[in-house]
Amino acid sequence: MDLDFLIRRANYNKEKVGCIFMFHGYGSNKEDLFSLEQYLPKSHTIISLEAPLKLSFGGFSWFDIDYSDVIENNLDKRYKEINQSIQNLLDNIDKHINNENLNKDDISILGFSQGASICWKLGLDYSSRFRRVIPLSSFIHPSYLNNNLENYNDILIYSSHGVLDDVIPINLVEEYILQLSKRNNLTFDKFNSGHTISQENLLNLISWLKKTDN
């Protein structure tokens, strides 16, 4: 299934450029994170993908979810559905890499909230396909991953979370992120904010992107 998307092509004199793919949160759409493109490296193409499931109240979702999934701190019952969404995303990413003649060795993924949970899944279970993994304000739990956390190594990750987040409380995810930080090149920033990308968060992310640019 082809996903709707928005694209800002790189302004860079190079045969093949890198790309940052963006995955929005639950109930949002492709326009949401794309508003950040003006702050992201001009050397990279930016592609914001829209989730396939249309919600009755508006917006889109990568997979069905209810609040009990977060409260129970488990996505095991969503495993099959999440993997179907992941395969669809991989197919769409491959199409864009081919159509835009992108550098497949410089593909980054950035997600917020539910889109960041997708980002974790892609970045960990398909780490060879992505150079940088950027999940923001997200849920992560071993129940929807293919391996135990200690089996993921040497992945370049920037993650952040608001300590005042009442949608995905930080105490539900911090332990797993800290476990991953032992074996991966992982930067984890915490901010005095809620379920959002604060200005300070954005500035730190931009700085990290510059430090990790090739």
Answer yes or no: is pLDDT of 170 > 90: yes
Determine if the pTM surpasses 0.85.
yes
Reported residue count of the chain is 214
Q: In Å, what is the CA distance from 92 to each residue of 52, 85, 128, 135, 148?
A: 12, 11, 17, 19, 27
Six-digit token string for 199: 């200005």
Six-digit token string for 207: 């700085």
For residue 4, the one-letter residue type is: D
Answer yes or no: is pLDDT of 198 > 80: yes
Q: For position 142, what pLDDT does the model report?
A: 87
Six-digit token string for 11: 């302004």
| Calpha distance 61→41 (Å, rounded) | 27
Answer yes or no: is pLDDT of 7 > 80: yes
Answer yes or no: is pLDDT of 69 > 70: no
- Percentage of the chain exceeding pLDDT 70: 93
Band of pLDDT at residue 14, cut at 50, 70 and 90 = confident
Q: Which fold has domain 5-211?
A: Rossmann fold (3.40.50)
For residue 187, the one-letter residue type is: T
Q: For position 67, what pLDDT does the model report?
A: 57
- Pairing mode, strands 60-61 and 53-54: antiparallel
* Average pLDDT for 29-33: 95
- Percentage of the chain exceeding pLDDT 90: 78
Handedness of CA 123, 154, 96, 41 (dihedral sign): positive
| Calpha distance 106→1 (Å, rounded) | 24
Beta-carbon count within 10 A of 143 CB: 15
Helix (H, G, I), strand (E, B) or coil at 133: strand
Answer yes or no: is pLDDT of 54 > 60: yes
Answer yes or no: is pLDDT of 23 > 60: yes
Q: For position 58, what pLDDT does the model report?
A: 86
Q: Which helix (H) or strand (E) holds 124?
A: helix 114-125
